[in-house]
Amino acid sequence: MSVFFCEQIKTQNATSAIEIVREKICDQADICYSHDIGGGLGQKINKEIIPINRTVFDTDESAKQWLKSHVTTEGPVLLVPVKAPDNYATIEISKIHDNFNKKVLAAEAEHNNHHKSLMALQTKAFQSLKRSKSKLKSCHKCTSKIAIEFVKTPHCPVCQQQNALLSNSVFNNINIQKNKLETVKTNLDSIINERDKMVAELTMKSQSGYINWIFAALCES
């Protein structure tokens, strides 16, 4: 019966990884000798430790599955590299989120305020329109005469022009508010896009440039 040993070594350097694994094997060999017990990782004391770096595995699990199918009780200890999160990049990404979250919250608050102002302005304008003494209103765009009594919105039912039944001053005020809202929305989208771009760049760098090693051995029980 055999036992599969597998453990991650948190170092990028293959030579350092080999040294760490050798120390672990020596420690286990000392324990087995002092307690007069066989088996365990210590039985690999005289075996070679071989790094296989032709493939960098995406996950620990994929690396372990490969190692399971390649180690033998009589063979060497094998080491393979696996992609790992870059701690520096992780910290920097966290800082980016913290910094941009403040900007995003401020931009969202400004957007919500402008949206509420626009809704309030449109509601008040329509209420004023319905209370108008004039029974007919001309559309600003198509000049159609519209009976105020039957309209349910300030939009022209003929040409579909929005807010076309309101007075010129109110119509212009609403358009100004809409332009402000659009500017704020564009600014919000720009902030979010900049944040996402910076996070994506750091994530790509960390995934392509930082590795750990996983070693494995198959030992007699």
Q: For 65-119, how does the pLDDT look when each residue is reduced to its tens digit (9 = 90+)? A: 999 999 998 999 999 998 876 666 777 788 888 888 888 899 999 999 989 998 9
| Residue 8 shares a structural domain with residue 51 | yes
| Residue 38 shares a structural domain with residue 104 | no
> How many domains does the structure of the chain reveal?
2
| Residue 97 shares a structural domain with residue 170 | yes
Distance CA 154, CA 122 (A): 8
- Residue 35: the pLDDT is 41
Domain range for residue 62? 2-87+210-220
Distance CA 162, CA 141 (A): 10
Rounded to 5°, the CA angle 8-10-13 comes to 115
Tokens 């809202």 — which residue?
181
Distance CA 216, CA 71 (A): 7
| Residue 70 shares a structural domain with residue 110 | no
Q: pLDDT tens, 203-213?
A: 766 655 567 89
| Residue 200 shares a structural domain with residue 96 | yes
| Residue 216 shares a structural domain with residue 200 | no
| Residue 166 shares a structural domain with residue 99 | yes
CB 7 within 8 A of CB 25: no
CB 94 within 8 A of CB 195: no
| Residue 78 shares a structural domain with residue 99 | no
Tokens, residue 189: 């989208």
| Residue 31 shares a structural domain with residue 9 | yes
Q: Which amino acid is at 40?
A: G
| Residue 155 shares a structural domain with residue 62 | no
